[in-house]
Amino acid sequence: MLSKTPRPQSLHREMVVMGGRKRGSGRKTREEQNQRLPSGNADPGLDTTSETNREQSGWECGSLLSMIKRNLGRSTRSIYLGLAFLSLTLHLLLACFCLSVLQTACVPPASSSSSSIPKTNNQHHQSISQSSSSSAASSSHKLPTVPQNEEQHKPNSTRLHLKDKHSFNRAAEREKKLIGAGKVIQKVKGHSKLEALFEHPLYNLPRPELQEDDWLLRVKANEHARDTGSDEEEREDPVNSDSQWQSASQEEGYDKVTWTSDVETHPPWLRFHLGISRWELYNRKDPNLAQLTHYLATQRILGAVQKTGGTQLKLLMSFPNYGQALLKPMKQSREAETDVNLFYFSDFERHNAEIAAFHLDRLLGFNRIPPVVGRLINVTTEIREITTDHRLSRTFFTSPVGNVCFYGQCEYYCSTEHPVCGQPHALEVSLAAMLPDLTLAPRRSWRSPWRRSYSRTKLAQWETDPAYCDTVKQTPPYNHGTRLVDLIDMAVLDFLMSNMDRHHYETFEKFGNETFLLHLDNGRAFGRHSRDEPSILAPLQQCCRIRRSTFLRLRLLSLPGFRMSDVMRDSLLGILWQAWCSPVSITIKDVIYDDLEGYDEDHDRWTG
């Protein structure tokens, strides 16, 4: 069973959920053929370059010493020994220097992260980012987890440590690349193509001002809370205009909750939740986005339980200030391409696809995927030793080569033949920011009209009926508003990342049919870079309709100055196999849903 981490009850009281009445169905049904992969595909494949270098330098020093022994007299021996030590020291100094350079290039230290966050004119936001980054920094000091920054500063001591620690160090190199997921959200020095893209008018379109009911959640005004506090709990609650939200139950390891209705006191996950609107999950320019990704990548992990729902293994991780993240583990090397004989519904999920999908969605201007980062975790100290989930803990074992592995309990690939393994403890994972709890913000799950058959033999109706879209266009909710072009946006995203697994999508119930579509679950994207899958574009091709802003952005992304492959590379350096960033060419018919009316007399200037 899922052991749910309680969030402070008063938080629930303080939020006004403007949601719909019913809870979304959430659970998906599936008629998939339960095809199994041959074992042995899991290859954590840590980068061995740094190890090879170390081995080489060790070999040089060793052979130098033995040469000295054999060929030289006793009198000169001490001189050469001295030289050897000098050379060793220089090697270490050089390594130390390289590591510190690499580190500054990849992960800015927590304390300085606020300075690299995009500056806004909004003083209010600036102070939020500063206070929250310093709290992140202070809490990371007591981390027993991956102290990557500290270790990098002390290479001399860590090099000679225990085997486990040593391998964690090696793996930390990879973590820096992964945490690049957080980096790209921070200001890129110089003028990168990504930065230029986000400065383009197409990414800065004026928007109608949001009304009160365009926000998913709101903090209740204090007066209101006092006036309407009718139940027992609320009457007992000492909330007043200056009081703090106190956690009703002080859980071990959890921070004392000190949030007030003042946004500056809110942790990044809460600010993310409070920033969700009818039309997007986050505002790309919100400085909290960088805070949130930094938070996900560095916060101490306090809880890890299996997340129910879906078919493959994933964990719900908890942080001390009640933040949570959805973890998907690395199951195969980043370079592994999906076997051509495997159906899309039998494919492994890829942790790096979740990360890359967030970046692609963001650079298409959609902002419909919850922020995802990569992180290197310790499967022993950050899962096995802290989990309260017995169904998970009983699946841990040590592999023949001494790696700590587990497989959990789920429908697909949860068996000893498909273990998730550390090296020996270090494991690459993706961590996605959790959406607000369903009790606060119920969601509705919609079956995609272009869902695949999930059968080896059957075809779906849309695959055989050329007039399929005519039917869809007449069927609610696709017969009204933006739902159809939203679905086509999703098809464009899925085509670009080769995701054939979009069987459902979700919306926030509160917003009814006038809202964006959540692009959750992208784990089966980016599986095969060498072949396009045109059938993913069926909604576009059959309905012959597209949002004008999407069309213009795609056109912009095909220009040399903003080429999609380049901005993706900027965004994803080190996260995704580079083969995926080879140029993508898109041809789209001129069938436009004009969502830019009145904004752009001169739209050719934008993309020409």
Ligand X SMILES: Nc1ncnc2c1ncn2[C@@H]1O[C@H](COP(=O)(O)OP(=O)(O)OP(=O)(O)O)[C@@H](O)[C@H]1O
d(CA 43, CA 333): 5
Our finding on whether 540 is near ligand X (CB under 6 A) is: no
Our finding on whether 482 is near ligand X (CB under 6 A) is: no
Our finding on whether 28 is near ligand X (CB under 6 A) is: yes
Axis-axis angle for helices 163-183, 288-298 (nearest 10): 170
* Strands (E) located in 394-447: 397-398, 404-406, 420-421, 426-433, 443-447
Task: Look up residue 116 and give its two tokens.
Answer: 């690299």
Q: Which is nearer to ligand X, 410 or 546 (CB)?
A: 410
Our finding on whether 268 is near ligand X (CB under 6 A) is: no
Which listed range, 375-383, 518-526, 569-577, 599-607, lies at the site for Mn ion (CB under 5 A)?
518-526
CA angle 188, 190, 194 (to 5 degrees): 50
Judged by CB under 6 A, the residue of 26, 45, 477, 481 near ligand X is 26
With CB under 5 to 8 Å by kind, the binding choice for 435 among Mn ion, ligand X, none is: ligand X
Smallest separation, CB 520 to Mn ion (Å): 9
Q: Which is nearer to ligand X, 237 or 349 (CB)?
A: 349
Our finding on whether 309 is near ligand X (CB under 6 A) is: yes
Our finding on whether 316 is near ligand X (CB under 6 A) is: no
Site residues for ligand X, window 336-375 (CB under 6 A)?
349, 370
Q: Which is nearer to Mn ion, 32 or 521 (CB)?
A: 521
Q: How far apart are the first and last CA of the chain?
A: 56
Report which secondary-structure segment, H or E, holds 463: helix 461-464
What residues does 428 pair with on adjacent strands?
376
CA 391 to chain centre: 25
Smallest separation, CB 542 to ligand X (Å): 24
d(CA 35, CA 37): 7
The tokens 């803990």 sit on which residue?
A: 393
With CB under 5 to 8 Å by kind, the binding choice for 494 among Mn ion, ligand X, none is: none
Do the Cβ atoms of 274 and 263 come closer than 8 Å? yes
Task: Look up residue 188 and give its two tokens.
Answer: 């890129």
Our finding on whether 521 is near Mn ion (CB under 5 A) is: yes
Give the amino acid at 86.
Answer: L
Of 237, 501, 521, 566, catalytic:
501
Judged by CB under 6 A, the residue of 312, 352, 395, 507 near ligand X is 312
CA 411 to chain centre: 23
Our finding on whether 570 is near Mn ion (CB under 5 A) is: no
Our finding on whether 326 is near ligand X (CB under 6 A) is: yes
Our finding on whether 347 is near Mn ion (CB under 5 A) is: no
Do the Cβ atoms of 145 and 300 come closer than 8 Å? yes
Our finding on whether 440 is near ligand X (CB under 6 A) is: no
Task: Look up residue 288 and give its two tokens.
Answer: 């909290």
Our finding on whether 327 is near ligand X (CB under 6 A) is: no
Q: Which is nearer to ligand X, 520 or 543 (CB)?
A: 520
Which listed range, 139-147, 382-390, 522-530, 550-558, lies at the site for Mn ion (CB under 5 A)?
522-530
With CB under 5 to 8 Å by kind, the binding choice for 62 among ligand X, Mn ion, none is: none
Q: Annotated catalytic, 164?
A: no
Our finding on whether 45 is near ligand X (CB under 6 A) is: no
Q: Which is nearer to ligand X, 26 or 477 (CB)?
A: 26
Q: Kindly tell me the burial class for residue 604, based on how many C-beta atoms sit within 10 Å of its own C-beta (0-12, 13-18, 19 or more).
A: exposed
Judged by CB under 6 A, the residue of 311, 409, 453, 541 near ligand X is 311
Which listed range, 189-197, 359-367, 520-528, 570-578, lies at the site for ligand X (CB under 6 A)?
520-528
d(CA 469, CA 473): 6
Our finding on whether 432 is near ligand X (CB under 6 A) is: yes
d(CA 514, CA 57): 62
Do the Cβ atoms of 457 and 468 come closer than 8 Å? no
Smallest separation, CB 297 to ligand X (Å): 15
Smallest separation, CB 523 to Mn ion (Å): 5
With CB under 5 to 8 Å by kind, the binding choice for 486 among Mn ion, ligand X, none is: none
Single out the residue of 180, 174, 498 nearest to residue 337, CA to CA.
498
DSSP 8-state symbol, 506: E
Task: Look up residue 384 and give its two tokens.
Answer: 């096995």
Q: What are the catalytic residues?
A: 501
Q: Which residues bind ligand X (CB under 6 A)?
A: 26, 28, 309-312, 314, 326, 349, 370, 432, 434-435, 506, 520-521, 523
Q: Which residues bind Mn ion (CB under 5 A)?
A: 521, 523
